[in-house]
Amino acid sequence: MDDKLLKIRHSLAHILAGAVLEHDDKAKFGTGPATDNGFYYDIELSSPVNEENLPKLEELMREILKEGFTPEMHEITYEDAKQRFKDQTHKLELIEKLNDEGAKLSTYTIGNFTDLCEGPHVESSKDIDPEAFMLSNVAGAYWQGDENNQMLTRIYGIAFESKADLDAYKEQQEEAKKRDHRKIGKELDLFAFSPLVGSGLPLFTPKGNIMRKELEEFVWELAKPYGYERVNIPHMAKCDLYKTSGHYDKFADDIFFVKSKKTDDEFIMKPMNCPHHTQIFASQPRSYKDLPIRYSEVTTVYRDENTGQLAGLTRVRSITQDDAHVFCTEDQVKDEVLAIYDIIKNFYEAFDMPLAVRLSTNDPEEPEKYLGTPELWENSINTLKSCIEEIGKEYVTEPGEAAFYGPKIDFVATDAIGREWQLATAQLDFNLPERFKLEYTDSDGKKKRPVMIHRAISGSLERFLGVAIEHFAGAFPLWLSPIQVGLVPVSEDHAAYTQELKEKLEAQNIRVEVNAENISLGKRIYGFKGQKVPYVIVVGDKEVESNEVSPEHRDLGKLDGVNVDDFIQKLIEERDSRALAPTT
């Protein structure tokens, strides 16, 4: 988000608070930040607000803008702040926290509302287009994100620099609704959820599992030439593993614990795979001649996400990662990261999803959030910067977005309707090798620590599948489609030849389904089209007699009189090249 848009959105959060104050003069205010597409404010209300109230609040906001204002900032002492916000319980809590941290306190007055705030804001109301924002929805939110705290009302808004930008966003959102992977996934019978299994635990049907396996094998096909080897680890481990790694203390609230009735041991359902992989490395002596060692695995991890955060396949509790970890020397890091980039680039090209690059670093002002010394972090960040320079792509730096053990290069993919998804990543880690005392014998006979690189290509199969469903709107390229060819015999007289054709296709590992139901021919054809099958072939007298087919492609229409063997060869080429569309 650029600085101008940040100021607009942050200022609108304050204007929203002022409008709410006119609606409810007893309201107690929490916080109101800018977001990726707008703003929100968390408020304790004595007079409830629902979505029917939003047009009125929007009207009040526009009145505040019409009256005009210039934001007024005043530094304020701790005692003055307590007096100024004596009736605002949530602000008093923030004041105490900021005072304990030694932070300077300041207020901003915008229109009729004065807030505890450090900015930034627009210079005047003239910087905000009154037609370029809207209030979108109302939700509940725990104060400070803690479920042990009071539930507040969160009012969301959308905001852009111009009405045209807002209209484009609204159009994108309408298109996103049509592409919702939860809706399409149900229509195409790809996955299901069950209350008996639990929230956030998707069940993949045969068709959905085909897609998962295709994605898994594609990543492996790209990674194998770079020397990766497959490993396999259990889905749980003793707590000691994660205490050593640091994950236990860092993510205790997100961990599923398992207690053995036969021993006193406490186990954890693994929330990540890297600690297990360190133990494979540590299982025998290593020499510099063995490095790099590259362990690859597609396996599920488990995280206790809040129920309210779960969202179809894009936010789940069982997360199947296409995970890999590289153990190498410092001199080998750049080559390994560049190889990872090649894998990522080739993967996303197959989906026609452009990539942007983000360098995620630590926040030096909050060192307690990270493992390792400042020197280690500086070294790691500089190493990744040199990798990005070698790649030759522009990048942005995002302080505070690093993993707790090291900086990372995040690759942000853009889908068919312009949304951005952070999926692939390469992460540098000097910390876990130190914490687990991993070592190899160098050429001088001395013991040294390896560097560890964490990498993911699709991110997780669940999330990527959700993104891919929406990216293609369910109309998948041939290689990814659960059903690649649909066969529709005109009558029972054509059943034998249809079966023969099916067997010919299946002999080339082409996925085929026959619809010979006792319903009209049109309904059977429409059934395959509704499932967005790439090719549908009607089998009648002409096909039986000529050994030719007239397949109808989902997008290109009917192809008349194609020799069966030639058609099969065309399918093989389209599938094996992972083409987005057939060549005509």
The whole-angstrom separation of Cα 415 and Cα 423 is 12
Tokens 């149900």 belong to which residue? 186
Give dist(CA 494, CA 492) in Å, integer.
5
Catalytic residue, from 212, 294, 408, 554: name it: 408
* Catalytic status, residue 454: yes
Among candidate residues 325, 358, 524, 554, the one labeled active-site is 325
Amino acid letter at 111? Answer: G
286 is catalytic: no
Helix (H, G, I), strand (E, B) or coil at 4: helix
Q: Is 284 a catalytic residue?
A: no
Question: Hunting for tokens 């919702």 — which residue is that?
Answer: 180
Starting at the earlier edge strand, list the strands of the sheet with 256-259.
236-238, 266-269, 256-259
Is 323 assigned a catalytic role?
A: yes
Q: Which of 14, 84, 317, 454 is catalytic?
A: 454
Separation of alpha carbons 552 and 476, rounded Å: 16
Q: Are 549 and 566 in contact (CB under 8 A)?
A: no
Choosing from 88, 179, 274, 484, which is the catalytic residue?
Answer: 274
> Looking at this protein, which amino acid is placed at residue 131?
E
* 288, 329 contact by CB (below 8 A): yes
Q: Which residue has the tokens 């395959």?
A: 528
Specify the amino acid at residue 323: D
Please name the residues in contact with 314: beta carbons below 8 A apart, sequence gap of 6 or more: 181, 462, 463, 466, 467
Sign of torsion over alpha carbons 206, 211, 216, 218: positive
- Based on C-alpha coordinates, what's the Rg of the chain? 28
Considering 9, 14, 321, 358, which one is annotated as catalytic?
A: 321
Angle between helices 333-349 and 374-391 (to 10 degrees): 50
Q: Say which of 14, 212, 277, 303 is annotated catalytic.
A: 303
The verdict on whether 276 is a catalytic residue reads no
3-state DSSP assignment of residue 142: strand
Task: Mark whether 408 is an active-site residue.
Answer: yes
Give the integer Cα–Cα distance in Å for 266 and 257: 7
Catalytic residue among 42, 115, 323, 415: 323
Enzyme catalytic residues: 274, 303, 321, 323, 325, 408, 454
